[in-house]
Amino acid sequence: MGLLSILKKLRSSPDKELRLLLLGLDNAGKTTLLKQLASEDVSHVTPTAGFNIKSVLSSGFKLNVWDIGGQRKIRPYWRNYFENTDILIYVVDCSDHQRLEETSTELAELLQDDKLRNVPLLVYANKQDLATALPASEVAQHLGLHLIRDRTWQIQACVATDGTGVKEGMEWVCKNIPVKK
């Protein structure tokens, strides 16, 4: 199970099923991240039409990760998947300077949604292996993360294709699972 063995720590939690929602623009690396989480081969990824879902079992814990396509045509459907989300994971391609603004706008819209209120946010600053990638701190600034007051958030630099930083992000996820009523 590799990465997900860290979820053993979650045994104490009464809820055994978690819903993670992966969002971000197209070509951000959501599906690659999903495959990385499931310890699958990441070299044959294709663009997502619709969505992918993977459930990963780890120490009696069921992690349902929803990866929704990022292209503009699909974004209106994102809302249909908001309900009961435990953690929102937002993926940013840090080498795509031209669309930083677009990705900020999309994120800002997500954070305003009622259904996602108080849901902890993890931002993966992806593609750090590329020479043109902005560092995570700069991406955080562009996204205006420091202005967020209504939820816990974290930004994690990562390289989804080789797994660098992915585990650290998931560790943060584990520590910040909201206590369910």
Partner 1 sequence: MIVFNIWSVLQWYLRPIIKWFLRKTTRLCELQRICYGEKAGAPRACGVERSLMLSRTQCVKEVVSYLDTVVYERRFVPGNFREILDPSISVVMRAKKINPKLHGSFIVSFRQCLEQIWSYRSLMDEVEEIRRTQFDSGNPEHEEKLLRLWSLLVPHDKLEKRVTKQWQYIGFQGDDPKTDFRGMGILGLENLLFFATEYPQASSHVLSHSLHPKYGYTFAIVGINLTSMAYYLLKDGSAKTYMFNAKRHLPNINLFHRFYCYLFYEFDKMWIESKPQDIMEFSIIFKKFENAIRTELADPSTVFRINIEIDTI
71 belongs to the catalytic site: yes
Identify the CA nearest to 57 among candidates 119, 2, 1. 1
Q: Is 48 annotated as a binding residue?
A: yes
- Those residues whose C-beta lies under 8 Å from the C-beta of residue 163, and which sit 6 or more positions away, are 3, 36
Q: Is 94 helix (H, G, I), strand (E, B) or coil?
A: coil
Q: State the catalytic residue, choosing from 71, 112, 154, 156.
A: 71
Please select the residue that binds partner 1; options are 21, 34, 38, 45, rule is CB under 8 A.
Answer: 45
The vertex-90 CA angle with 89 and 92, nearest 5°, equals 145
Is 131 one of the binding residues for partner 1 (CB under 8 A)?
A: no
Where do we find the tokens 């994102």?
78
Q: Is 27 annotated as a binding residue?
A: yes
Interacting stretch for partner 1, rule CB under 8 A, among 10-18, 72-80, 128-136, 137-145?
72-80
Q: Please, what is the minimum distance in Å from the beta carbon of residue 153 to partner 1?
A: 27
Is 130 one of the binding residues for partner 1 (CB under 8 A)?
A: no
99-137 core/surface letters (b: 16 or more CB in 10 A; e: else): bbeebbebbeebbeeeebeebbbbbbbbbbeeeebbebe
Q: Please, what is the minimum distance in Å from the beta carbon of residue 77 to partner 1?
A: 5
Q: Please, what is the minimum distance in Å from the beta carbon of residue 107 to partner 1?
A: 18
Tell me which residues touch partner 1 (CB under 8 A).
26-27, 43-47, 49-53, 69-74, 77, 80
Annotated binding site for Mg(2+): 31, 48
Q: Which residues are catalytic?
A: 71
